[in-house]
Amino acid sequence: MAIDEIDNIRPDGKDATDNNLSGLSEASITWNTPNTTQEDTEGASSSNLELGKRVIESVVKTLPGSPGVYRMLNRDGNALYVGKAKNLKKRVVSYTRVEQLPYRLKRMVSETRSMEIVQTKTEAEALLLESNLIKRLGPRYNVLLRDDKSFPYILITADHEAPQITKHRGAQKREGRYFGPFADAKSVNQTITALEKAFLLRSCSDGVYTNRTRPCLMHQIKRCSAPCVGKVSLNNYASHVKEAESYLSGSSMGFQKKMALKMQEAASEQDYELAAIYRDRIRALTNIQSKQEINVAEIDDADVFALFEKAGQSCIQVFFFRAGRNYGNRSYFPSHDKTIDAETVLTSFIAQFYSNKPVPKLVMVSHKLPEQPILSEALTSKAGHRVEVNQPQRGAKRKLLENATVNAREALARRMAESTSQRRLLEGLANMLSLDTTPERVEVYDNSHTQGSEAYGGMIVAGLEGFTKKAYRKFKIRGDKPSKTEQETPQEAAYTGGDDYAMMREVLTRRLSRSLKEDPDRQSDQWPDLLVLDGGQGQLTVGIEVLEELGLSDIPIVAIAKGQDRNAGRERIFLPNRPSFLVDPKDPVLYFIQRLRDEAHRYAIETHRKGRSNARLKSVLDDIPGIGAKRKKALLLRFGSADAVARAGVEDLEAAEGISHIVAQSIYDHFNTE
């Protein structure tokens, strides 16, 4: 078999494994049982477990005894498991002793049809590469960090004469100083508000700053010094910026003492207005500290990870400390098999957590990790500075870990209680609708339009953990223009946007047809266990027809219509081949149904409004010849709205950036010539 050696993987991640490590020596290898096609092997094998074992045995023969990462792949080439090893040969050979494996790994081996191997120079590099691959591929047998939203930062820009203070998420490409991370946007917003009061920094965009001719409301309420109109000199404003950066870097007490002295001096000179300004700044800074709750004097920059496990489920509580101050905390609920121990879960979680985030100097953990030195080495390599990973045993740091563990325990208890309540509601819904099993994925559909224009369909998803907003989908109604990849059915042809039944048909057809194309064997968990339509018998009939046309009649479907006068509590349930019925107004399942329907209605209306707003904005300026995105932006920055552009004269239009006399005349003629 051929093995392609690839050296010096580029640090920008543009390699076959999508990692961001440099200097790795990679052998990317895919094995199948030698000299035999997959179909022949499966036909000759009496056991999938035995087949998977033989695949792994064929790989082990040529494996090196060096560090690296291995991937188990199924018949479709999708990753089942990603693991790292100090000695690849010794680690992978353990999977051939199937009688010693737990049930979870036996299932994994039985599904394995090929493997891929990546050699690394050190075990620490293997750990980082493993975490990158787990996040990118999402293997079902690994510990998965699912809720991985980017954390907000405070940014003080450095690419403008009057730096701006603003909230920032995502890649840190803009020039300036970033402070964080903060646990949530609320913490950032509160801190920025206090900093505006204390240091009078501007938060407006550069475009607004450039076009100001008089102070805005922020200056009037004493939250900005108005450098845009010269109310403060740029030199004085720069000193305010340095003070804010110094405060966010940890010099808070010294700055507050300095402000207190200035307040006393102003008061002694009977300049009470100036003294009041200093007083307000001190109060604003004190307000920040009061909202940061737990502060530990021994900690500078650190993250705290505390895991609590119960009934096979885990919660990891993460606290963020920067410059000696607490920037908040967040709960995570990683997905993992019940048989995986807490230490392994925590190690894998931390490695994935820092794959796209800056690493502080200290990482405190609630459990003694067996691979703690390797994790520390890997994070040090990624961060470019020494990173200490430890489990404090006494003192203030230990108390902080205990507090984080209590938070993790309470968060897991709340989640389990919510999950239990949600399951009871889903079981009640299954009983009400006479379903064979309790649905774990319920999809609810609704449409929204204005007399047929800007029509949109919305799909929301609910399950055991409540609403799954990542799975929500919106559909721009195309009417008689199906996509090139979809076949137009006779029912779809040539209808107007105001036909609610046709819109429901289009939405259902597009959603289910795509799933059939991507997963014809219906093996993934993205298929609905129940379809709920907002409407009555007409919508239900359309839904049944779509399911029959696509060969999906086994998917349960129901329509829910409000009663006369659209009163909540008088909902009527429509099911196939059954008379419609009302639900007892006091039945908790009815309230659950109302929540599902109202969420779908909210999502559809919100999507429609956004589309309508975008369409209105587009129709005014985008039809003018010679006006592209850059000129449109310049006009809107100059005049504030498209209506103001339409009312402007030629000379006023010329004053906008990038608008010549000829273009200005063209714009004027567009709005003023019949």
Which tens digit of pLDDT belongs to each residue from 216-232?
888 888 889 899 998 88
CB 596 within 8 A of CB 532: yes
The sign of the dihedral angle between the CA atoms of 555, 545, 597, 146 is positive
CB atoms within 10 A of CB 129: 27
Q: Phi and psi at residue 383, in whole multiples of 5°?
A: -80, -25
The helix (run of H) or strand (run of E) holding residue 532 is: strand 530-534
pLDDT for 155 equals 92
The sign of the dihedral angle between the CA atoms of 374, 375, 377, 381 is positive
Task: Please tell me the pTM assigned to this model.
Answer: 0.56
pLDDT for 558 equals 94
The sign of the dihedral angle between the CA atoms of 22, 25, 28, 33 is negative
What's the whole-number mean pLDDT along residues 73-92? 90
Highest mean pLDDT among 262-271, 287-296, 436-445: 436-445
The C-alpha atoms of residue 255 and residue 258 are separated, in whole angstroms, by 5
Between 323 and 351, the higher pLDDT residue:
351
CB atoms within 10 A of CB 408: 25
Average model confidence (pLDDT) across the chain: 80
pLDDT for 522 equals 80
HSE at residue 495, side-chain half, CA atoms within 13 A, is 22
The C-alpha atoms of residue 674 and residue 656 are separated, in whole angstroms, by 25
Smallest Cα–Cα separation from 209: which of 164, 156, 176, 154? 164
560-582 per-position pLDDT tens digit: 987 655 555 678 899 998 898 88
Q: Which residue's structure tokens are 């909902």?
A: 571
**Which residues neighbour 337 within 8 Å (Cβ) at sequence distance 6 or greater?**
104, 141
The C-alpha atoms of residue 143 and residue 138 are separated, in whole angstroms, by 9
What's the whole-number mean pLDDT along residues 604-620? 69
633-654 per-position pLDDT tens digit: 888 778 777 778 888 888 888 8
Distance of CA 579 to the CA centre of its chain: 43
Domains of the chain are 4-137 (3.40.1440.10), 153-291 (no CATH), 302-413 (3.30.420.340), 434-613 (3.30.420.340), 622-672 (1.10.150.20)
The C-alpha atoms of residue 319 and residue 89 are separated, in whole angstroms, by 39
The C-alpha atoms of residue 546 and residue 553 are separated, in whole angstroms, by 9
The sign of the dihedral angle between the CA atoms of 582, 587, 588, 591 is positive
CB atoms within 10 A of CB 290: 9
**N residues, the chain:** 674
338-347 per-position pLDDT tens digit: 888 899 899 9
With 50 as the cut, is the pLDDT of residue 608 above it? yes
With 90 as the cut, is the pLDDT of residue 423 above it? no
Peptide bond preceding 181 in cis form (omega within 30 of 0): yes
What's the whole-number mean pLDDT along residues 140-157? 80
With 50 as the cut, is the pLDDT of residue 21 above it? no
Q: Which two tokens stand for residue 354?
A: 């820092």
